Structure 1
């Protein structure tokens, strides 16, 4: 999720989107698209298909936002229900999913799993990265993790932290420079 919105703020934004407010719709999208993509991915197990369904979901939200009733459901529950139903509809429609191959054909295929030595090396690198992250100031560590592990934009982080965009960029840049220095030692 990009900006953290309270239940009431999200309900208000949905109501405004229902009245045709594009900025409010963008707020709803920014605050919920990551979560709804996750819902679609869990059901469909195919990113491209999940992204298509997510687009259908937001088209439905745009058309039906005026019908949202905050006394009947929370905004996120309403949105997740739409995403879930669209995903299930896509599964039931028989739309082509992943290409399948008979199990007999698997004998000639190489194992795509990483080598054990690579897994150990990656685990060591993750451990080093976490140790270096722990050396950063808590706020800087938090925004770096959020930006790079959750995909939240710098602009959204600046809004969330109530700081200017330039300040957010500076925090992240200085934090990344300290991380690089720590990892190089």
Structure 2
């Protein structure tokens, strides 16, 4: 599926609207789930996802497979749009519990996509469980609730350098764990 997504993005970069429609159909359920988990608001998540897909269409020609998978690239675009949206809304940061990882699986994709998503969510949940609690909390707050390093430091009452280390080490550990899960 990763090669198919890379091919779709390459075709989109050349202006292929059908490739865009296919990419949207295959990836929007998972990306919508990500947006909801960050924003905690279904309507806002739909709006942000639309904006993200406009950004994806415009920047498709800048995607380079050597820098990461298409799914990661899409996740980063959606996550960044969510963070921008949260920052525009100067709402109070609420107490956050760790994400229930298995429930990130969307109910909307096709059966094959649902199976793939469930497998990936299971791998992610297993890898997240393998992290120490500081890394888990830092990654959850950063990537699923859109907190910056500075906001993380305030929220966790920890030095900025320590928070950056928790995020960096947590990502490295996740990357290793997920890499071994796909082999």
Q: TM-score, normalised by structure 2?
A: 0.51
What is the correspondence of 1:1-185 to structure 2 with a 5 Å cutoff? 6-94=1-89, 150-152=107-109
Counterpart-to-counterpart distance in 1, 2:45 and 2:108: 17
Once the two structures are superposed, what CA deviation does each residue of 1:14-58 show, in whole Å capped at 9, x if it has no partner? Answer: 010111101100111011000100111011000000000000000
CA drift at 1:150: 2.2
Once the two structures are superposed, what CA deviation does each residue of 1:134-159 show, in whole Å capped at 9, x if it has no partner? Answer: xxxxxxxxxxxxxxx8234xxx669x
Counterpart-to-counterpart distance in 2, 1:57 and 1:49: 12
Segments of 4+ in structure 1 off by > 2 A?
149-152
SS state at 2:45 partner: helix
Counterpart-to-counterpart distance in 2, 1:31 and 1:16: 15
Higher relative helix content? 2
Q: Which has the larger radius of gyration?
A: 1
Counterpart-to-counterpart distance in 1, 2:54 and 2:41: 20
Once the two structures are superposed, what CA deviation does each residue of 1:63-117 show, in whole Å capped at 9, x if it has no partner? Answer: 00000000111000000000000000000012779xxxxxxxxxxxxxxxxxxxx
Counterpart-to-counterpart distance in 2, 1:95 and 1:48: 18
The aligned counterpart of 1:138 is none
SS state at 1:151 partner: coil
Aligned length: 101
Q: TM-score, normalised by structure 1?
A: 0.50
Give 5+ residue unaligned stretches, structure 2.
93-105, 113-183
